[in-house]
Each structure stands twice: as C-alpha cells, then as structure tokens.
Amino acid sequence: MGDWLGLPVLWMSVLILGAVYLYTSAVYLIITKLAVGEHAKAFKAISPGILPPLSVVFAFLVGFLAAQVWNDGQQANAAVNREASALRAIVLLAATFPGEPEQRLRDLVSRHIQDVVDKDWPAMASDHANLKFTPPNMAEALRISLMLNPQTPGQTIAQREMVGAIENALDARRQRIILSHSSINWVKWTALFAQAALTLVVIGMVHSDNRRANRIILTIFATSVAAAVILIAAHSRPFSGEISVQPGILMQVMPEPGASPPAR
C-alpha cells in the first residue's frame, strides 16, 4: 500500500475502486453460480443477523486505522510548527548580538531551512531520512551561540534562550524524521481487507435469492470499503503522497540573506 502513495489521489482512487469492484463482481458471480440446489438452501440458512456484527468489526478497524494516521498527521504538523517557531526565535534572539554574530546566525538558519526543503523533505517522502548526523548549520549555530561573550544581563538571557531554541529545533527535526517512518503495517492492512472481503461474501450469500437486491447491496458496501481504504491510504504516511505535511511554514520564517530585520 505504501507504494501507492506516489500516485495522485485521483489515480489512487481509481485503482482502489477498480480492485474492490473487481473482487465484488467475482464474489457475486461465484455465489450466483453456486446458489442452486443444496447450496441455495445453505446460503439461505445463513442468518442476516450476522451482517451487523461483521459491519461493526469492519467499522472498528477503519476507525482504528484512521485514528492512527490522523494522529500521526497532527504530530507531524506540530513538530514542523515547533521547529519553525524555534528557528524564528533564533533569528529574533540573534538581534541581541548585532554585527557579525547576528548575520552569521541568520545565514546559518537560512541555509538550514534550505537544506531541510531540498534534502530532508525528499528523504522523508521516500522513507530514507535518518538521524545519523546532526545538521551542520545547526551544529555551527550552536557552537557560535556558546562562544558568544554577553556584555549585559539581557545578552546573557538571550544567549541562554538561543541555545535552548537551537536544541528545540533539533529535537523537533528528530521528531518529524521519526514520524516520517510511521505507516500502517501489512498486518493491519491484511486484517482490514480480510474483514471487508468476508463481509462482502456473507452479504452475497444472504441475498443470493434476489439478484437485483444482491447487486445493489454489494455495490453499496463495496463503495464504502473503497472510500475507507482511499481515505486511510491517502494519509498513510504524514510526509508522503499528495496529501502530506509540507515545509511551507519553515519557508515563511526563513530570514533573507544579507539583511537584518528593520528596527522597530
């Protein structure tokens, strides 16, 4: 399922709908062919009361998986927003040390954000991002911040806060990279598909004596299954696919190179 995330949502929907309808058609044709003689009696002996529990279990699985992907998405957004806030704080606090230190820190933050957009995001989208190295620009910013020589109580506080902001930005980066590997594993997908497949088979058996009604109810349930799968698959990984967390908020806090913020 993860490989489908490279598709636009429209084509993903077409693929999923086609697969679900193809399976449903096969179920209908096989059950219709078998629903004669003793098989027909056996099918009719199946109580319709079994359908509500099966549907409830399917709905429970859908809700379980949807809660996971939406929680991952919220955490990913929170991590990116926290990283952006920390980087913005570094830029603002750097103004407490005017001159070369301020400009150096602004340039490092700007280069770091550009690296995040150009390197981190594609790596997270392809599930190749890792925590093996510390971003060099943030490491340099931390080194410069620790080497500053505060001359006033205000600069002392600013230095301490700036070091904290750099650590916060690095922690937020670690969090989003960890979340970029989050996905729905094959066991969960298998359970969802097995439950949907079983429910479709039981629906076909229960309504096997009325072909028109059978086609209608199978189509309705198959469409609901496809809609649920599309919804979950489109949000399966927070940094992959057409619907994913984007670095726009980081670009908004990128300082312009070579320019200090205007005095207020």
- Note the pLDDT of residue 240: 87
SS3 track for the chain: CHHHHHCCHHHHHHHHHHHHHHHHHHHHHHHHHHCCHHHHHHHHHCCHHHHHHHHHHHHHHHHHHHHHHHHHHHHHHHHHHHHHHHHHHHHHHHCCCCCHHHHHHHHHHHHHHHHHHHHHHHHHHCCCCCCCCCCHHHHHHHHHHHHCCCCCHHHHHHHHHHHHHHHHHHHHHHHHHHHHCCCCCHHHHHHHHHHHHHHHHHHHHHCCCCHHHHHHHHHHHHHHHHHHHHHHHHCCCCCCCCCCCCCHHHHHCCCCCCCCCCCC
Cα dist from 72 to 2, 176, 177, 183, whole Å: 15, 10, 12, 9
- Which residues in the chain show pLDDT less than 50? 2-3, 261-264
- Note the pLDDT of residue 9: 87
Question: What is the per-residue pLDDT across 141-196, written as a single tens digit (0 to 9) for each?
Answer: 999 999 999 999 999 999 999 999 999 999 999 999 999 999 888 999 999 999 99
- Note the pLDDT of residue 134: 85
Q: Would you list the domain boundaries of the chain? A: 2-252
